[in-house]
């Protein structure tokens, strides 16, 4: 520890703390950017999901088409098989 004085130790620790603060700030900003990207992705998925057709709607459309064409038994048999 030769050559160290109170003044040089203070400078060393001040520089080390400043560098740590800078690294912590960069990590925080990086995390924020990642969270923003994740939120944008979630919003895009949510928007896309709103355009998906639901199973009850599909079944209603199939039943309507079957009623019109008279093929309800064949279609129901197809969907009910195991």
pLDDT band at 14 (very low <50, low <70, confident <90, very high): very high
User: pLDDT by residue (tens digit) across 22-57?
Assistant: 999 999 888 888 888 899 999 999 988 888 888 899
pLDDT band at 78 (very low <50, low <70, confident <90, very high): confident
- Higher-confidence residue of 61 and 77: namely 61
- Average pLDDT of every residue of the chain: 86
Of 36, 79, 45, the closest CA to residue 61 belongs to 79
* Long-range contacts (CB closer than 8 Å, 24 or more residues apart) made by 19-25: none
């Amino acid at each position: 520890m030769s050559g160290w004085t109170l003044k040089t130790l203070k400078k060393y620790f001040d520089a080390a703390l400043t560098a740590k603060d800078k690294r912590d700030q960069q990590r925080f900003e990086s995390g924020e950017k990642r969270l923003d990207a994740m939120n944008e992705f979630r919003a895009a998925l949510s928007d896309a999901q709103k355009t998906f057709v639901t199973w009850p709607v599909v079944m209603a459309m199939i039943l309507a088409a079957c009623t019109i064409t008279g093929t309800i038994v064949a279609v129901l048999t197809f969907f009910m098989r195991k």
